[in-house]
Amino acid sequence: MSEGETKLYDDRGQYLLAQKDGREIRDASWNACRVVLTTQRVVMIADEKHTVAIDALEQVNDRFDVNQAAAGEGSYTAVRTDETVYLVSVPEQDEFETALYKASLNNGILFVQHPAVEGGVVQSVEWTKAKVKISAEAINLAMADGQKVTIDRNDIGDVGTDERTIKGEERTVYEVEHTDAEGRSVETHVTGESHHTAVLGALLEEGVERHRANLDLSGTEKQVIMALHSGVSPFDLPEFVGMDVEKVEAIFDELVEYDVIEVERERTEVALTPQGRQAAGETIGDR
């Protein structure tokens, strides 16, 4: 390894060369190899050594089922450069991918707007440089203005994309919906150099996929979800959406079953017993 290069992952696995010089290889097959990932390159060591420079990555983590051999493999990481695509399969795929995200993004400089949107309302905040650090749990952004923003990888609700001119350059912007430390729905907008955004997009989409489900929600259920998303308190929601309390609570129960919402605090429902009513009457009589 070169000076300053650090090993992040080393295990037995397999690779399939799915595209070379821009041409898909339809008869490609899997080859057993040793997979070594460092802060600078991915290396697949078999009879030959195949190397992909981290800075050359254009896309990672999507499916590239070039043939039946690829399609039959349940889990792999597609590593793309300009005209070449390697599929890499290892025993601990999530661990490998997190290491790949670290190699590509850790200590890189991104441009961040936070919060760009808060409670559904667009905020007037400037783009700020931020240093990024990836862990298995979170995307951590240390911003030049002193803010520290944490995006929990298990808490990414949605990711939108846009093309904008930022700092004089046309860039891909990722609009990441998540919750902040106070539990409010916010959007953090993130962009950077192309070799950063290529990998960042895969990381963010992986977070979305953890929660994506084919939900067949009714109109009233969607109305409740949007009200909650905009910051309406659950206690104020019946009046806000024009439904009685029992109907809203039934919808809550359904959404909990769908894993769309979670209960943070149970309300205690109480009713007076005959003895209690008697005690209340005595108290009123004493006044």
Each residue's pLDDT expressed in tens, for the chain with a length of 287 residues: 677 789 999 999 999 999 999 999 999 999 999 999 999 999 999 999 999 999 888 878 778 899 999 998 888 999 998 889 999 999 999 899 999 999 989 988 999 999 999 878 889 899 999 999 999 899 999 999 899 999 998 888 888 999 999 888 899 999 999 888 888 889 999 998 887 888 888 888 888 876 655 556 777 887 887 777 767 788 888 888 888 888 888 888 887 777 677 776 654 343 433 333 333 344 445 55
Q: What angle do CA 127, 212, 88 make, to 5 degrees?
A: 85
Identify the pLDDT of residue 216: 65
Same domain, yes or no, for 83 and 121? no
Is 73 in a helix, a strand, or coil?
coil
Rounded Cα–Cα distance for residues 76 and 189 (Å):
29
Q: Which residue, 164, 188, 209, sits at the end of a domain?
A: 209
Q: Note whether residue 67 is domain-resident.
A: yes
Same domain, yes or no, for 55 and 115? no
CATH number of the domain enclosing 85: 2.30.29.30
Same domain, yes or no, for 45 and 111? no
Is 67 in a helix, a strand, or coil?
coil
Q: Note whether residue 15 is domain-resident.
A: yes
DSSP state of 89: E
Rounded Cα–Cα distance for residues 193 and 268 (Å):
52
Q: How far apart are the first and last CA of the chain?
A: 86
Identify the pLDDT of residue 211: 61
Q: Which residue, 147, 174, 209, sits at the end of a domain?
A: 209
Identify the pLDDT of residue 273: 33
Identify the pLDDT of residue 264: 65
Identify the pLDDT of residue 127: 94
Q: How many domains does the chain have?
A: 2
Q: Note whether residue 72 is domain-resident.
A: yes
Same domain, yes or no, for 86 and 120? no
Rounded Cα–Cα distance for residues 191 and 133 (Å):
15
Nearest Cα residue to 86 out of 56, 44, 55: 44
Q: Note whether residue 264 is domain-resident.
A: no
Identify the pLDDT of residue 215: 58
Q: Which residue, 163, 185, 209, sits at the end of a domain?
A: 209
In the chain, the amino acid numbered 223 is Q
* Partners of residue 83 on adjacent β-strands: none
Same domain, yes or no, for 21 and 51? yes
Residue 278 CA from chain centroid, whole number: 56
89 CB contacts (<8 Å, ≥6 apart)?
Answer: 13, 14, 15, 16, 30, 73, 75, 76, 77
Same domain, yes or no, for 49 and 141? no
Same domain, yes or no, for 59 and 120? no
Same domain, yes or no, for 83 and 110? no
Rounded Cα–Cα distance for residues 86 and 101 (Å):
16
Rounded Cα–Cα distance for residues 15 and 28 (Å):
10
Q: Note whether residue 215 is domain-resident.
A: no
Contacts 24+ apart (CB under 8 A), 244-250: 247/220, 248/224
Identify the pLDDT of residue 269: 43
Same domain, yes or no, for 42 and 78? yes
Domain range for residue 62?
7-90
